[in-house]
Amino acid sequence: MKQYFKNIYEAIATILVGMGVTWRHLFTRAVTVQYPHVKRELPERSRMQLFVDMDDCIGCMQCQRACPVDCIDIKTIRAGKEEDLGEAGNGTKKKLHVVQFYIDMAKCCYCADCVFPCPTGAIRMTPEYEFITYDRSSLLINFSQYSDEERAALEERERKEKEAQAAAKAARLKAAEEAKKTAAAQKDESKSE
């Protein structure tokens, strides 16, 4: 019997205590941040969208090799001997045309592993995180500053160079073969004498 009344007393008392708590919270300041209107300051070194400063990129492909999910796809073309592509921010000479620099942000896992190996600090994380799109393919970003025509021209040039090289090599090989043959013939001749 005593327990019964004690229970009732405790029920009422604890309900009142609970109501007091909620009443106090009714007037405490809300912690909500009204997101699109108010943006919270991001922590230092937060990892969001990637950015590549192509003026600095020397096309060394360190980032592509470091990426664990293979979402960076770089294509480079060697610069000609007389061409001067300028220097990266830290003074490294640029020797390659970076004709393609894809980063697929849909695949990226924001590990920032590509950022650290970069010798010139060209690739880096930005605090930009609102890059939602309606189409997954628009998350594939090409940072290269070469237009399609320029790229085609450079590729054409490289192809020609390669062809020329191949031709030269073939010629060299042929010449070597000839030389070998004539040498052998001479040997035969001297033997038969």
Partner 1 sequence: MEPLVQFFYILLPFLRDWPEWLALTVIGIVAALLMFGFVAIFALFAIWLERKVSAHMQDRIGPMEVGGWHGWAQTIADTIKLLVKEDIVPENADRILFKLAPAIVFTAALAGFAVLPWTQDFIPADLNVGLLYILSVSSFAVIGILMGGWASNNKWSLYGAMRSASQMVSYEIPVALALLAVVMNAGTLSMRHLVMAQSGNILDWNVFNFFPLTAVAFIIYFVASLAEVNRTPFDLPEGESELVGGFHTEYSGMRFAFFFLGEYANMYVVSAIATTVFLGGWLPPFEFLSFIPGPIWFVGKAMTMVFIQMWLRWTLPRLRVDQLMYTCWKVLTPFSFAIILLIGLWKVI
Residues contributing to the site for ligand SF4 (CB under 6 A): 50, 52, 57-63, 66-69, 71-72, 74, 103, 108-114, 117-120, 122-123
Per-residue tokens: 92 = 């490294």
Q: Which residues pair with 101 in a beta bridge?
A: 74
30 belongs to the binding site for partner 1 (CB under 8 A): yes
27 binds, among ligand SF4, partner 1, none (CB under 5 to 8 A by kind): partner 1
Coil, helix or strand for 7? helix
Output the smallest distance, CB 58 to ligand SF4, in A. 5
Our finding on whether 26 is near partner 1 (CB under 8 A) is yes
For 1, counting Cβ atoms within 10 Å of its Cβ (0-12 exposed, 13-18 middle, 19+ buried), the class is exposed
Count of beta carbons in the 10 Å neighbourhood of residue 117: 15
Q: How far is the CB of 118 from ligand SF4 (least distance, A)?
A: 3
**Both structure tokens of 122:** 């060209």
Binding site for partner 1 (CB under 8 A): 4, 8, 15, 18-19, 21-23, 25-32, 34
